[in-house]
Structure 1
C-alpha cells in the first residue's frame, strides 16, 4: 500500500481507498477517544495562605531578588615567581616562558592502573571479546614418569623405595622364613633364660628395715603432753547386774582415799541391787572393785570408792576461767575402748541441758560446757581437760540425731558438767552421802508469745516456796534475780545455782501485766 502523502506517490485505487490514511493524518492509527490526552488545564491559583508564605513579593520579577548575596569569591591568581627564581630556572630555548625543564628532562607519565586493552594481544583474547565463539580445547596432558626397572626405585625426592609387587617369589619366601626363624630363636632364648635363672629366696635371715632417729618434739600443752599426764587419773567403770552390763568412765579426785567421780546414770543400775558389781579398771590394766559412796540423780553425779594404793589424782581446775574457743581434750572409754583421747574446743558455756531416762533415775538439768570434741557412749564420767591439764568438766551427754543425750553417735555436740558443780556435789556426797538442792516448789514448761519467752507455771506445791511467794498457776516466770528466764530449763538452772533458804526476786507475767514477788527457796 502506498502513502498518498509522500511525494511522487500515485493515487490509491478503489480497494485501497477504503483503507487509506486520511488526508493530513500522521501515524498508523488514530488513538481511541478514551486514550486521547486531555487538554491541559490552566493552573489553579494558589490559596491565600500559600501565596502569603511562598509567593513572590510585589514588583519582583524572576526567580531570585537582585540584591541576593553573590557566590564564593574566586581565588586570586598566584603572584609571579621572583626574579632570582626566573633567572635560575629559565627555559633553555628562546621564546619559551615560565620555568624550564629539569636537566634530565621531564619523566614520562606513568600508568596509574593496568588495563587489559593496553596489551598487544588484547583484541584477540576470547576472554576479553564478548563476541568470541565458545570452543573446547584439547584435554590436559601430564608427562608419564620414567618407568624404573627392578624392585628398588628412586622417587622425585631422591628417596629409595622397595616395590613389593616386583619382588620375585623365591626372594619373598626367603624373607618370610628369615623372619620366622628370628622369632623362634628369640622366643627360645627367653624361655631358656627364665628356666635356668636362679630364683630369689622368699626369706631373708638378715633383713633389717630402715628407721629414722627420734625427731618429734612434744611441747608442753600439746594434746600428747596432756594425754600423757591426765590419762593415768582416768579409769574405766564396769557395771554388771546379773547377765547385763554397762561401761562408763571416771576420774580419780582423791588418790589417798580412793574416791572416783562419775555419772549417776553410769552406776545407778547397780545401786541397792544385791549381787551387782562395780569395777574400776585403771590405765595400767589393773582393776579393783568399787563401792558407791553417794549419788545425786538431780545433778547426775556419783562418787565411788576403790581400795587401791598409789593412785594418781587429776588436777581439778575452775569453770570460771573457761571461755568459748579454749582448746580442750576429752579422755574416757567410749564403747569400752579405754584410754581414748579426742580433742576440740569449748563451743558454748552455760548451756541448759535436761538429762533423764536411759533406765536410770537421773532427772537433772545441768548448765553444761558444750564442746565439739568427739564424745560417744562410754565417755560418760570421763574428764574434759583444758590446755594446762586441769579438769574443767565431767563428760555427761551428747546431742545426736537418734538419741536423747546419752546414746547415739557423736555429731560434734558434747556436754560436760562444770567442774565447780562437780566439786560442790562430790564434797557433799563424800561428807554426807547425799546432796542438797534449792527448790522453788513449782513445775513449769517452756512457752513463748512470739516476742518474749518464759517458763509457764503448771503446778504449785501446796505450802511450798512458790505458793508462799504468791505464784499461781498459768503465771509466766521471765526473771529470777538478775537472770532472764526463757525456758523451764533455764529456770531450773537459775534456782539450782542458789542455796536453800536464800531469798530471790521472781518476775512474772499474769494477765498481761508484769509483777515481781520475793520467794524463799526450800530444799528439793
Structure 2
C-alpha cells in the first residue's frame, strides 16, 4: 500500500476499530514503462449483489465525467531507469482542481490528466500531504463536471457505493459494492521503511485494483465519500502479497479529504499535530507489573515542545492516552486525526505515582 484519527477533554476518544496489519497491503497505482491513453466510455462491474433504489448505471453516468486518469512521468527507479505510472483522480472544482493520492504522483517531473472526454491536459502540483496520502493538482480548464465532498454525514455499514477510476490504466471503470465498515484503522508501510496509521478509513468490498489509487468512492447521491488508496491482498505461497482485489479496499474518508485539500489550497501544505516526545513500548509483562495493561516509556522530551510545556519528563511512563490505552497505535491514530491546538490528557506514572497532564498539541516541525 502506501500511507497514509483523538481523545481527551477536547478531543474525541479514538475509535478502537480492529486494525489491519501491514502484510498484504498494497498501493493501488500502476507503474508502467510507457503510459498509453485511456479507454473511452465506462465499464460497470457489480461485485456485490444488493437490493435498493440506488442505480449503479445512473450513478456511473453522473459521476464518471468528474473522474480523471492521472499520469505521473519522469520518475527514476532504484536502478536509475526512468519510468512512468498512472492512477486516478476526482475533479473538485469547475476550474480544474483535482484530488488524488500522494503516492500516485510522488517523484514525478511531469504530470498530466486524461479527462472523461478524452482530452489530455498538463497538470501542476498544488501540494501534497504524505501523512494522509493526498495530493492536489490543478489543470487549466473551465466548466468541468465536479464531485461534491460528502462529509455531512458519516458512511453507514451496508451503504451502497461505487468506486471509479482507471485500474490497470482502463479509464472510467466503475465497480459497485457496499461500505463494509466506515472506520477502519490501517497500519500501512511507507516509503523508506517504517509504518504509518491511516485512521478512520472507509472499507469497501467494491473491486479496487492497481490504478484505482486517487479515484473517488461515491455514495448513492453521487457525493465523494472517500479517495480509494489501498487494498489488502492474499499472500502467495511464498509469502508475497497478491496484486488484485479480494474485496478489501480502503478509502481516505471525505472529512479528511476536505480538511487536507482545503489546507493545501490555502497554504500549499497541510499541518499535523505533534506531542514533542520520543517513547519506547513497555513490554506487556513489565506494564502489568506496574498495575497497567499497557504503557509507553518516555525516552526524551523536546525542549519547549508540547509535552515539555505540559510537564512530561523523560523517564515517565504513559499509562493512558485520553482515557484509552497507552500504545503506539493509539498515538499514531490520534496524531492522524487530531488538530493543532487540541488538548490530550495523558495519565502518567512517575516514580510509581500516578499523575495526569494535559498536552496542547502543536504543529509538527
Shorter-normalised TM-score: what interval? 0.7 to 0.9
| In 2, Cα distance between equivalents of 1:334 and 1:297 | 22
Give the superposition deviation at 1:352. Answer: 2.2
CA contact (8 A) 1:269 1:359 kept: no
The structure with higher relative contact order (CA 8 Å, sep 6+) is 2
Task: Return the match for 1:498 from 332, 335, 338.
Answer: 338
Aligned length: 299
CA contact (8 A) 2:156 2:179 kept: yes
1:461 equivalent in alignment to 2:305: no
Q: Which has the higher helix share?
A: 1
2:322 is aligned with 1:481: yes
Classify 1:362/1:259 alpha carbon distance in 2 versus 1 (closer, same or farther; 3 Å). farther
**Structure 2 residue aligned with 1:416, among 251, 267, 270?**
251
* Structure 1 residues 500 and 251: CA distance shift in structure 2, 3 A: same
User: Partner residue of 1:294?
Assistant: 127
Question: 1:396-437: CA deviations, max 9, x gaps?
Answer: 112224599x98322222111111111011011111111111
Query: Taking structure 1 as reference, are residues 369 and 289 closer, same or farther at Cα in structure 2, changes over 3 Å only?
Result: same
* TM-superposed deviation, 1:377: 1.8
Structure 2 residue corresponding to 1:522, chosen from 348, 362, 365: 362
RMSD value over aligned CA atoms? 3.1
Distance 2:298 2:242 in 1: 31
- Say whether the 8 Å CA contact 2:343–2:360 is kept in structure 1: yes
Q: Distance in 2 between matches of 1:361 and 1:394?
A: 23
| Secondary structure of the structure 2 residue equivalent to 1:232 | helix
CA contact (8 A) 1:365 1:489 kept: no
Structure 2: distance between partners of 1:425 and 1:229: 25
Q: Which residue of 2 aligns with 1:440?
A: 275
1:426 aligned partner: 261
Contact (CA 8 Å) 1:345, 1:371: kept in 2 or not?
yes
Which structure is larger by alpha-carbon Rg, 1 or 2? 1
Residues 47-79 of structure 1, C-alpha deviations (whole Å, 9 max, x = no match):
xxxxxxxxxxxxxxxxxxxxxxxxxxxxxxxxx
Quote the offset at 1:446 in angstroms: 6.0
Consecutive unaligned residues in structure 1, runs of 5 or more: 1-218, 271-275
Give the aligned partner of residue 46 of structure 2: none
CA drift of 1:480 comes to 3.6
Paired with 2:193 and 2:63, the residues of 1 have a C-alpha distance of: 29
SS at match of 2:264: helix
Query: For the residues of structure 2 that align with 1:511 and 1:365, how far apart are their CA atoms?
Result: 35
1:266 aligned residue (64, 89, 104): 104
Matched, 1:226 2:65: no
Task: Tell me how far apart the structure 2 counterparts of residues 493 and 509 of structure 1 sit (CA, whole Å).
Answer: 22
Deviations 1:430-473 (A, max 9, x none): 11111111111234566663783465545533332123323345
CA distance in 2: counterparts of 1:259 and 1:428, whole angstroms: 13
1:312 aligned counterpart, secondary structure: coil
Q: Determine the C-alpha separation between the residues in 1 that align with 2:200 and 2:282.
A: 20
1:244 aligned to which of 74, 83, 86: 83
| Distance change >3 Å, CA 252–CA 471, structure 1 → 2 | same
Contact 1:297–1:361, Cα closer than 8 Å, also in 2: no
Q: Secondary structure at the residue paired with 2:92? A: strand
Contact 1:445/1:487 (CA < 8 Å) preserved in 2? Answer: no
Shift of 1:522: 1.1
User: Which structure: greater strand fraction?
Assistant: 2
Q: CA-to-partner distance for each residue in 1:194-230, whole Å, 9 max, x for gaps? A: xxxxxxxxxxxxxxxxxxxxxxxxx962111211111
- Paired residue secondary structure (1:341): strand
C-alpha contact (below 8 Å) 2:162/2:217 kept by paired residues: yes
* 2:144 equivalent to 1:304: no
Separation in 2 of the partners of 1:481 and 1:298?
22
Helix, strand or coil: the match of 2:146?
A: coil
Question: Structure 1's 332 and 312: CA in aligned 2 closer, same or farther, altered over 3 A?
Answer: same
Q: Secondary structure at the match of 1:279?
A: strand
